[in-house]
């Protein structure tokens, strides 16, 4: 999840949500933890996949939350395991919830489905 990918990851929900409302784009909320091998695998394999980063840049606001930096926010969200990935609409409704490692092809399909459902 480097700046080279061209995806701007917000490190707090409020800033990301504000941008999602301004741009009228859904949010991808990636909830991760420091010592989580599956989170690291998603950072390396899923979020750096070229087609996934393209989808994020073109139609989503990306938010990354960690218990180390977002404890108050995460106390209001049920996080049964790390990583957890949520897709939320700018109005605040969560429309997708995935627990655990999600490979690039799964995330690519999910982002495509959400984008298509919003257009219709």
Instruction: Give the C-alpha separation, 46 to 70, whole Å.
Output: 22
pTM of the complete model: 0.92
Q: What does the mean pLDDT of the chain come to?
A: 92
Instruction: Give the C-alpha separation, 36 to 111, whole Å.
Output: 23
| pLDDT 10s digits, 42-81 | 999 999 999 999 999 999 999 999 999 999 999 998 899 9
Give the length of the chain: 120
Distances (CA, A) of 103 to 19, 74, 110: 26, 23, 11
Residue 44 in contact with residue 5, Cβ under 8 Å?
Answer: no
What pLDDT, on a 0 to 100 scale, did the predictor assign at position 2?
A: 45
């Amino acid at each position: 999840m480097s700046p080279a990918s061209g995806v701007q990851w917000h490190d707090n929900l409020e800033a990301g949500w504000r941008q999602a409302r301004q741009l009228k784009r859904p949010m991808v909320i990636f909830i991760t933890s420091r010592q989580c091998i599956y989170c690291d695998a998603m950072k390396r394999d899923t979020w750096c996949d070229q087609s996934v980063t393209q989808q994020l840049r073109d139609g989503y606001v990306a938010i990354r939350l960690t218990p180390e930096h977002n404890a108050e926010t995460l106390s209001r969200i049920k996080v049964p395991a790390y990583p957890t990935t949520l897709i939320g609409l700018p109005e605040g409704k969560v429309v997708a919830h995935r627990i655990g490692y999600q490979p690039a092809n799964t995330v690519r399909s999910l982002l495509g489905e959400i984008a298509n459902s919003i257009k219709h």
